[in-house]
Structure 1
């Protein structure tokens, strides 16, 4: 598969930000009685299965044991992130988790320095700090204090944020060794397949798998939508961009998702923007513009 061009990678990530923003509204339509770990596992599994015909026709199922181990590690990182998020949401608010998630691109920048050679972190730190500050202002939405999260919730979700921050740089490093020449479709398929299996395993001790009986036809249709657009498409776009754009810059597009959600509330729902939100939107816009203009192809990683 021909690698994405530099411009196409950025355009793809812009679409990624839109799809991520839309996924929050779609996910709210699925029954809240169903275990969220099970739902996420089903989303990942459905998305992975959609790649089977393409990979089968292209003979891309051949993989070494080292490749399987690498995909298992990446899939475990995904599962740990989602499991930590849903566990933290039992003990704190979505606002607090949203603020913590704003730190993920900055943590990704840290992992770049550890896992990849010659990553120009200093040039991107200030723009990312601006965008992160803006995203935090947008996440608050003037709703007042949510209260500090408990130490337990902070610790649990902190582990998940570290797992998600490690995902992109580790993917790029492994693509230089045990996952060399793997296409974005193959990377997406195997990582989501292992992620789904780990999430299903996490459902077993608490009996969350039993909630599958509560799924309705409408839930199934929303799950299909989420699997196709919010999971399959976004993971493919993510892996398409990794290696063309530095991983921390790639994941920083999550700040644009926060901005798009806010813009929808302003123009779609007619909500009056608050001064803090206007400042947040400006910071996100300036930070992301600086990141995009200053981005370049990442340097080769060590073998």
Structure 2
């Protein structure tokens, strides 16, 4: 892989981290009365439909049975993650789920070691531990002394975190087998489509579809924004980077997104940094810098573009 490909992949993931950080403010604008799983299913469906013309134009819509099954599995992982997140949030706070989410890149590294044994596990372990610890310090702000997470919520969201951790390494593994030659557009379209179908089917059984009547024009506007920028663009950038950068290094940009969210609060919220937040920010920066250097020394597995 040429240096320009490597640099472009990291630049894309830097934009990914910014888009993810900005998405939280946009998501807060949507009515809380609408079923969140329904909203996520609609977001994924809008993303798939937005990519459909480009998919047809590129002539990348032909699919084998094995390829269809691979996309189905990846879409199911997305549905399991989002479903578990919203279920867990009924019993615990966003702070607790945010703290658990910092484990996802570490879990991704473990799946990567199993599915891609050629990856340089030890080179990325310590930088990721440093970044994960720093991110945990950032997201634990505001946790009360008696605010203990529900064991049920931890169990449910733990399954979701495992699903999200498996997503990137499995995508890379399938790109060398049943999904060989699939580019970022096709990967994003089919995975989003299956994820949307699983979530909307769940809403059909749970009754969450009834909250569709509560959607306003403003909600639809923000939903389209989230679909285009917080979901479609970020997953395209994710699949664009997978194969150029190790999956664990790709998903580690979550930590940088956490840092950006904190910086937004400092700058626009005019909040003074707490000592632990400052330490966390430094640790995230140091860990990501070390991770960047280690990923540059790693020879990436080529993937279909």
Tell me what 1:274 maps to: 274
Asked if 1:19 is matched to 2:10, the reply is: no
Indicate the residue corresponding to 1:199 in structure 2.
199
Q: Which residue of 2 aligns with 1:120?
A: 120
Structure 1 segments, 4+ long, off by >6 Å, are none
Structure 2 unmatched ranges of 5 or more: none
The gaps in structure 1 that reach 5 residues or longer are: none
**Matches of 2:39 and 2:96, distance apart in 1:** 22
* Structure 1 stretch displaced more, 143-152 or 102-111: 143-152
Is structure 2 residue 85 aligned with structure 1 residue 85?
Answer: yes
Match of 2:52 in 1: 52
Residue 298 (1) aligns with residue 285 (2):
no
Q: Alignment RMSD, CA only?
A: 1.5
Number of aligned residues? 300
Paired residues for 1:81-230 under 5 Å: 81-145=81-145, 147-230=147-230
Query: Structure 1 residue 148: deviation in Å?
Result: 2.1
TM-score, reference length from structure 2: 0.96
Q: CA shift at 1:251, angstroms?
A: 0.2
Distance, in Å, in 2 between the alignment partners of 1:297 and 1:223 is: 39
Q: How big is the shift at 1:298?
A: 2.8
Tell me the CA shift for residue 52 of structure 1: 1.0
CA apart distance, 1:142: 4.5
> Residue 248 of structure 1 aligns to a residue in which SS?
helix
1:34 aligned residue: 34
Structure 2 distance, partners of 1:208, 1:105, is 31
Cα displacement (A) at 1:21: 0.3
- CA–CA distance in structure 2, aligned partners of residues 213 and 131 of structure 1: 43
- State how far apart, in whole Å, the 1-side matches of 2:127 and 2:83 are: 30
Q: TM-score, normalised by structure 1?
A: 0.96
Taking the aligned partners of 1:147 and 1:24, their CA distance within structure 2 comes to 22
- Pair 1:267–1:180, CA change in 2 (3 A): same
Q: Contact 1:83–1:199 at 8 Å: present in 2 too? A: yes
Change (3 A) 1:144 1:150: closer
Question: Whole-Å Cα distance in 2 between the matches of residues 3 and 24 of structure 1?
Answer: 33
What is the CA-CA distance between 1:144 and the residue it aligns to?
Answer: 3.4
